[in-house]
Amino acid sequence: MKLALILPLIAGLTFAADHPETTGWKDLFATDLSNAVAPGGWGFTNGELVAKDHDTLWTKASYGDFILDLEFKVIAESNSGVFLRSGDIKNVLSALEVQVHDSADGSKYGMVAAIYDAMPPIKSMAKPIGEWNHFTITCKDSKVSILFNGELVIDADLNNWPAVGKNPDGTPNKFKKALKDYARSGPIGLQGLHGKAQAPVWYRNVKIKILE
């Protein structure tokens, strides 16, 4: 099966698209987490990757241009995220974060599938709590797109963030570096138990395809 063609967003509309067939893709994390940095409380249970503490699970390898495909499941007040191309794994704000939680954290830049503090999805595609959701995240040079449960909800060009602390729509963000200057290659991470509730989140079928 060929990868679905990702269409651009036009006039605020979403486009339905198929998630890719990932047979033959590489698992982002080995089942023994031997390719992770200090996995801490993370581990696989019945094929599902879960955290038991706050620590982020980072890949040892760095990734530049890639397609990352995964499923996640949350409960009320779950709060996690997928970190992309970290510039420094000791500083989570050096990576783009795709939000993973039950719905929203009080702002449109914090809703599930948002690029944290930078860009909201143009439509909420979250399934009810307890059901599995599906992300396909594509990073290609400055372009980042997110397919969420069959609809393209983010189509971003980091070059449109040339200013420190400011989004293209004029709203402020907390980043100390302009997003256009963020690393174009780096480790990928899954955020551990986060927020006051420390509610769990589950990941499965976390696969990656390197783009040439």
Q: What is the CATH number of domain 27-205?
A: 2.60.120.560
Binning pLDDT at 50, 70 and 90, where does residue 29 land? very high
- Whether 134 has a pLDDT exceeding 70, the answer reads yes
**pLDDT score at 1:** 38
- Whether 11 has a pLDDT exceeding 60, the answer reads no
**pLDDT score at 85:** 98
Binning pLDDT at 50, 70 and 90, where does residue 15 land? low
With a pLDDT cut of 90, the percent of the chain lying above it is 73
Q: Which of 8-12, 50-54, 68-72, 140-144 has the least mean pLDDT?
A: 8-12
- Whether 196 has a pLDDT exceeding 80, the answer reads no
Mean pLDDT of 164-176: 95
Q: What mean pLDDT value characterizes the chain?
A: 89
User: Backbone phi, then psi, for 158, in 5-degree steps?
Assistant: -65, -20
Which has the higher per-residue pLDDT, 106 or 42?
A: 42
Q: Which of 2-6, 70-74, 101-105 has the least mean pLDDT?
A: 2-6
Which has the higher per-residue pLDDT, 136 or 52?
A: 136
What is the per-residue pLDDT across 107-124, written as a single tens digit (0 to 9) for each? 677 789 999 999 999 988
Binning pLDDT at 50, 70 and 90, where does residue 75 land? confident
**pLDDT score at 143:** 98
- Whether 59 has a pLDDT exceeding 50, the answer reads yes
Domain boundaries, the chain: 27-205
